[in-house]
Amino acid sequence: MKKVLIILVALFVSIGNSQESFELAAFGKANQAYTTENYDLAIAGYEQILKTGKHSAEVYFNLGNAYYKINAVGPAIYNYEKALQFDPENIDVNNNLKYATQMKIDAIQDAKSQGLGSNLDSFVALLSVDEWAYFSLVIVLFTILMCILYFYAHTVGKKRLFFILTFLGILLSVSTIVAASYAKNNVNDVQYAIVYTAEFITREEPKEKAVSSFTLHEGTKVEVLEEFNEWALVSLTNGNKAWMPLDKIKKL
C-alpha cells in the first residue's frame, strides 16, 4: 500500500512538473516571437497558455502588448484590464492601458466625475479589498487597546486622551469597515466588459429591429447590467444605457 501511495505521489509530482515546464517553455516561445516582432505567433502562444488555465498578470500584460502592436484596440484594452485584476498597482500595465485607451474612438465623459459617488469610488480605490480588510483589523485592534488603556489610566489627563483616541478609533473602524464592504460589493456585483466589434449601433430593446440608440466602437469599457436572449443591457460612465448582443462584447 505504501509503495502504491509513493508511486501515485511521484506520478502527480511528475505531471505537475511537466505542466509547469510546458507553461514556461510556451511562455518563452511566445516572448521570443514577440521580440522578433512575430506578433501573431506571440498572441497564439499567450492564448494557448491561458487555455491551459494559467492566468497571470504577466501573460495578460504581454498578450495586451502583442495586440497593441497590431493595433487591435479591443483585445489590447481587454488584456490590460485583465492584467490589472491580478496586479492592480502595476505601473507598466496602467501606463500601457492609458496608451491603448487613447487609440479608441469613443470619448465618454464620466457623468459622476464631480459627484459624491465618484469621490467615494476614488477613495475606496486607494486600497484593494484585502488591504481595506487588513487596515480595518489594525484600526479595530488599536481601538480596543485605547479602550483598555482608558480603563487602566490613573490620571484625568490620560483618561481624556485615551477616551478621545478610542472615540476616533471607533469612527475610523466604522469608516474602514464600510469602505472594505463597499469595495467587496463592487468587486462581486459589478460586471464590466470591453466592446469587441469595430462598430455597433446599440438598440433600445434587446432585438435587431428595435429603435437605434447610440454607437459604440471597439475598446470601449461598459458595465453589463442585465442579460436577456443573448443580449446585454450595457451602461456607460455618462449614464447612457442600451442593448447590444453578447457576442459584440467580452466580459472581464
Same domain, 23 and 75: yes
Same domain, 209 and 174: no
Number of domains in the chain: 3
| 110 falls within a domain | no
CA distance 152 to 165: 14
Domain CATH for 43 = 1.25.40.10
Max CA distance (Å), the chain: 79
Residue 22: what residue type? F
| 124 falls within a domain | yes
**Domain that residue 203 falls in:** 191-251
Same domain, 121 and 86: no
Residue 175 corresponds to which cell in the numbers above?
469608516
pLDDT tens column, 144-164 = 999 999 988 889 889 999 999
Same domain, 70 and 159: no
CA distance 195 to 197: 6
- What is the structure's pLDDT at 116? 46
pLDDT tens column, 44-94 = 999 999 998 889 999 999 999 999 999 999 999 999 999 998 998 899 999
The number of C-alpha atoms within 13 Å of 224 and in the hemisphere containing its C-beta is 22
The candidate with the shortest Cα–Cα distance to 66, out of 92, 40, 89, 90, is 40
User: Final residue of a domain: which of 58, 73, 101?
Assistant: 101
CA distance 250 to 53: 18
190 — pLDDT class (breaks 50, 70, 90): confident
Identify whether the C-beta of residue 243 lies closer than 8 Å to the C-beta of residue 232: yes
| 108 falls within a domain | no
- Which three-class secondary structure state does DSSP give residue 192? strand
What angle, 0 to 180 degrees and rounded to 10, lies between the N-to-C axes of helices 91-101 and 73-86?
A: 160
- What is the structure's pLDDT at 7? 45
CA distance 122 to 117: 9
| 28 falls within a domain | yes
- Which three-class secondary structure state does DSSP give residue 43? helix
User: Final residue of a domain: which of 167, 189, 211?
Assistant: 189
C-alpha angle 249-88-80 in degrees, rounded to nearest 5: 40
The number of C-alpha atoms within 13 Å of 31 and in the hemisphere containing its C-beta is 10
CA distance 178 to 185: 10
pTM above 0.95, yes or no: no
User: Final residue of a domain: which of 170, 189, 208?
Assistant: 189
